[in-house]
Amino acid sequence: MSIRTALVTGASGGIGVAIVERLRANGLKVIRLDVSGPCDLKLDISRDTLPADVFGSVDICVANAAIVDTMAAAHKMSLAQWSRDIDVNLTGSFRVIQACLVGMRARRWGRVIAISSVAGHLGAPGQIAYAASKSGLQGLMRTVAIENTSHGITANCVLPGLVATPKALAMPDDIRERAIAAIPAGRFAEPAEIAHLTAFLASEEASYITAQEIEIDGGMSLTSFSLRPPRPVSPT
């Protein structure tokens, strides 16, 4: 059997690096895509032309690229802030997946994995665009699964909670401590744990798993948590 080719977007970020390493360890050829940092393809998935010769060869598409740091409440978010998240997290992922599906359908084999978030299920106070984009990914992936299962293609979402990426670890100490206290497991996920689940969904053994939204959050979805500081208590 020939070596499968995987494409990972957002490949230079914390989760992306871990996924690339794990897929390579499993013997796959991996194409790293990002807007900056170490990568094989440097482009903006929301607007740049996606080279058909590259995307047509992809057997495993991991849509991981995302903007995570847009902070604004629903009543204050500007259209530019909203569009920034939606254009990359949702539209960009759609464009990449669409470009990869052509070759997958022709070969009648494929794995599509979108790195969504528990925020797509729970919401995320102060991050309405992020939560909406991640929820949209889940509907997108269920539709991809419905349309392509008969072509040997599976499509699944991985929903991490808080992960120990450089950005998460750089949060102010008080917010990070509140976050850890709200997670029943008592810690952030390691990027390698997200990569392990992603690699399984990309494998031959996962051929009967499709249209699933798999939370990997240490029980975070059982609680409520916001990155926003708690509101001050008004004196009575």
Whether 26 maps to a domain, the answer reads yes
Q: What is the pLDDT of residue 227?
A: 56
Counting the structural domains of the chain, the total is: 1
Q: Report the alpha-carbon distance of residue 228 to residue 10 in Å, rounded.
A: 25
Whichever domain contains 47, its CATH number is 3.40.50.720
Whether 220 maps to a domain, the answer reads no
Whether 66 maps to a domain, the answer reads yes
List pLDDT tens digits, range 163-217.
999 988 988 999 899 889 989 999 999 999 999 999 999 999 999 999 999 999 9
Low-confidence residues in the chain, pLDDT < 50? 233, 236
Whether 108 maps to a domain, the answer reads yes
Q: Of 103, 93, 25, which Cα lies nearest the Cα of 60? A: 103
Whether 35 maps to a domain, the answer reads yes
Cα torsion 98, 100, 103, 107 to 10°: value is: -110
CB-count exposure of residue 34 (10 Å: 0-12, 13-18, 19+)? buried
Q: What is the pLDDT of residue 138?
A: 96
Whether 224 maps to a domain, the answer reads no
Among candidate residues 94, 130, 188, 225, the one labeled active-site is 130
Question: Is 130 among the catalytic positions?
Answer: yes
List pLDDT tens digits, range 101-115.
999 999 999 999 999
Q: Which domain holds residue 56?
A: 5-163+191-212
Going by the DSSP 8-state scheme, the letter that residue 90 receives in this structure is I
Instruction: Please report, for residues 114, 223, 227, 233, the alpha-carbon distance to residue 73 in angstroms, rounded to integers and kept in the order given.
Output: 25, 20, 12, 20
